[in-house]
Amino acid sequence: MTEIRAYDPARDDLTEIVALVHRAFGEYRGKLMPESGALSETVESLGKRLEKNRLFLAEQDGKLCGAVFAARKRDAIYLDRLAVDSTARGRGIARSLINAVEEHARESGTSRVTLGVRLALTGNIAYFQRQGFVETGRQAHAGFDAPTSMDMEKRL
């Protein structure tokens, strides 16, 4: 059974969470231009994120297997760094983490969850569409003339 819970600094080790993020995003190394920023996360950078963002974690059998950040951006909650360990995929963990972000959005008084996904990750785009997200725009990373990512949102 999967347990979804908020990050607890007294219980959770940021080193373990960084390792999870690196494992989950590792499959994209060398496949995305520019490289995913998730691959350069550190204990310090995650700690800084925690100053303004919520972090939800997934555990199965006492083992950390998923994480997602939720950041307030204007009138929405931004879903960021959704990471599920490759050994735990296909078990509904990503869906459960998205649910936690959606519940957080409702509790925060917002009616939208937004996210960004790379255009090259067509499987991820399709996954978010199945979860009820729709495209709202496209962005180009610095130094690129053509769009590299898609903005998506889900109204709650």
Say which range, 48-52, 86-90, 148-152, has the weakest mean pLDDT: 86-90
Strands 63-73 and 134-139, bridge-based pairing: unpaired
Structural domains of the chain, ranges and CATH numbers in brackets:
2-155 (3.40.630.30)
| pLDDT given for residue 90 in this prediction | 87
Whether 2 has a pLDDT exceeding 90, the answer reads no
CB 14 within 8 A of CB 44: no
- Residues 27 and 105: their CA atoms lie apart, in Å, by 29
> What band does 139 get if pLDDT is binned at 50, 70 and 90?
very high
> What band does 118 get if pLDDT is binned at 50, 70 and 90?
very high
Backbone torsion region of residue 119, taken as left when φ is above 0, otherwise alpha when ψ lies between -120 and 50, otherwise beta: alpha
- Residues 136 and 98: their CA atoms lie apart, in Å, by 18
Cα angle: 57, vertex 63, 64; to 5 degrees = 30
Mean pLDDT, all residues of the chain: 95
